[in-house]
Amino acid sequence: MRRLLIPTRRTVQASAGLAVLAALALVLGAPADWVGMACGALLAGGLAFACFDLWNSGRQWRAAPLRVERQLPGAFSLGVPTVLSLTLVNEGSLDWQVIVFDEVDPHFSFEGLPQAVIVPASSRLELHYTATALSRGIAQFGVTQVRWRTRAGSFEVRQPLGRPQRIRVYPNFAALARYAWLSGDRRLAQIGIKTYVQRGQGTDFRQLADYRTGDSLRHIDWKATLRHQRPIVREFQDDRDQCVYFLLDCGRRMRADEGGQAQRGGSHFDEALNALMLLSYVALKEGDEVGAMTFGGPPGQRRDFAPRKGGATLNALMNRLHDIQPGTTHSDYQLAAQELLRVQRRRALVIVLTNFRDEDAAELRPAIKLLRRNHLVLVASLRERVLGRIASQPIAHARDAVDVAAAHLFDQSRRDAFARVVGNDPLSIDVEPAQLAVALVNRYHAVKRAGLL
């Protein structure tokens, strides 16, 4: 990008002042020839001064130009304000008066730009501004635009510095971080996640431990008891090495956004990704495998993630899914079920993340029936928050009563249709987006505790 020359306010004011003086002289009756000669001389002198100032300042800038160092995080989280820093490095012997503007990705909001500063000689000046990602995917930060002022203040020169950078924007990690902190502090009930005493439950052997009041006698290890001369019992844990497989709807229904992605909640698709990420973290900590497949998105953009376990799995899964966006077409549930059965033959807990409607019943019911031949199926449907707000609003006018009644009728119709689709399945859920993550974790724990897999 080429440099751009901009006259300063001082130059514009001087030119305007000269024009006013010339007009005033003509009004007062001064000879036009004299006024023209005087203005031409002053204008030529001013132009010569400005050109010398520009040449001299350019020479000094080229001798020791400013450098810009931009510090970006390893990745952004959707909707989380992040403080970014720009460091202006002046290795020369002159101060520079500059205005700084960073080329932020258009899918970001930002505060704190532009900034006008003076960079002292032989110094480093650090600037800060706040940027908030409004959509997931690959963010593109351009160069940093610096407008430096010539030594005598005749011009400002817009100079591009630095280099473009690309960075990933992931779903919001706040729920995952809070879960990890609360689980370590044993306070998961604060976010609605139920915990149960694990001693003696499950079928996988965990360890030997001293007998305590309330332990089952059938779990006593008699050989260890004789060896240690005190009662020893076997402790068990929930079954491990099982599989949790997500079937993520990327159709047009998941584009629903009830407040903007930068606000709490965001789109239904973003909430589904947040829930997927949290449950993946929980399942991996429990020793299970996690896999995923998308359906209903733009043609040729289906994403598959083969089930795997281990500490690096969550990062690999997010790298695979972080930039996908819901499409504008209707989702084909039966085709998705057939594809999943083709790639996942081992029995798994299949979690279908979607936004259910009454008219989807004819397609979703046979798809669930097909999946249940080999897998344990949990349908997680997202319900619009606006329905609850309308249904609970105060009735001040006749129109309000109609709105409230319509919201209740629509909600009841949706619940009835969902019940017909999932049958008597106690695992499937139809919740508002903000409740999805906690509800899925509780259902997962219930499946593990009951040994349904």
Dist CA 266 CA 259 (whole Å): 6
Say how many CA atoms lie within 13 Å of 179 toward its Cβ.
Answer: 23
Query: Are 135 and 262 in contact, with CB atoms under 8 Å apart?
Result: no
Q: Averaged over 395-417, what is the pLDDT?
A: 74
pLDDT of res. 240: 61
Helix H or strand E segment including 84: strand 82-90
pLDDT of res. 266: 64
Question: Which three-class secondary structure state does DSSP give residue 374?
Answer: coil
Residue 203's pLDDT band (boundaries 50, 70, 90)?
Answer: low
Dist CA 383 CA 4 (whole Å): 52
CA distances in angstroms from 159 to 100, 102, 156, 162, listed in the order given: 10, 12, 9, 10
The answer, yes or no, to whether residue 363 has pLDDT greater than 60, is yes
Q: Averaged over 344-349, what is the pLDDT?
A: 88
pLDDT of res. 129: 92
φ, ψ dihedrals at 235, nearest 5°: -100, 140
**Residue in the structure block whose two tokens are 């003076």:** 118
Residue 200's pLDDT band (boundaries 50, 70, 90)?
Answer: very low
pLDDT of res. 195: 52
Lowest mean pLDDT among 34-38, 192-196, 247-251, 270-274: 192-196
pLDDT tens figures, 42-73: 778 888 888 888 888 888 888 888 889 898 88
The answer, yes or no, to whether residue 198 has pLDDT greater than 60, is no
pLDDT of res. 246: 93
pLDDT tens figures, 263-308: 444 678 888 888 898 888 888 888 889 999 998 877 777 888 999 8
Residue type at 146?
Answer: V
pLDDT of res. 418: 77
pLDDT of res. 78: 81
pLDDT of res. 184: 41
Helix H or strand E segment including 304: strand 304-308
**Residue in the structure block whose two tokens are 């002053």:** 42
Question: Which three-class secondary structure state does DSSP give residue 26?
Answer: helix
Query: Higher-confidence residue: 412 or 193?
Result: 412
The answer, yes or no, to whether residue 199 has pLDDT greater than 70, is no
The answer, yes or no, to whether residue 315 has pLDDT greater than 60, is yes
DSSP per-residue letters across 183-240:
HHTT-GGGGT------TT-SSEEEEEEE--TT--GGGB-HHHHHHHTS-EEEEEE---
In this prediction the pTM is: 0.69
pLDDT tens figures, 215-242: 776 777 777 788 887 888 776 655 567 8
pLDDT of res. 237: 57
Beta bridge partners of 349: 244, 376
Q: What is the mean pLDDT of the chain?
A: 80
Closest by Cα among 41, 144, 148 to 102: 144
Report how far Cα 329 is from the mean position of its chain's Cα atoms: 23
Give a three-class secondary structure readout of 382-447: ECCHHHHHHHCCCCCCHHHHHHHHHHHHHHHHHHHHHHHHHCCCCCCEEECHHHHHHHHHHHHHHH
pLDDT of res. 21: 78
Query: Higher-confidence residue: 193 or 67?
Result: 67
Dist CA 55 CA 367 (whole Å): 74
The answer, yes or no, to whether residue 185 has pLDDT greater than 50, is no
pLDDT of res. 130: 92
Lowest mean pLDDT among 151-165, 177-191, 229-243, 383-397: 177-191
Helix H or strand E segment including 449: helix 436-450
Structure tokens at 80: 């989380």
The answer, yes or no, to whether residue 406 has pLDDT greater than 50, is yes
pLDDT of res. 181: 44
Dist CA 154 CA 210 (whole Å): 86
pLDDT of res. 214: 65
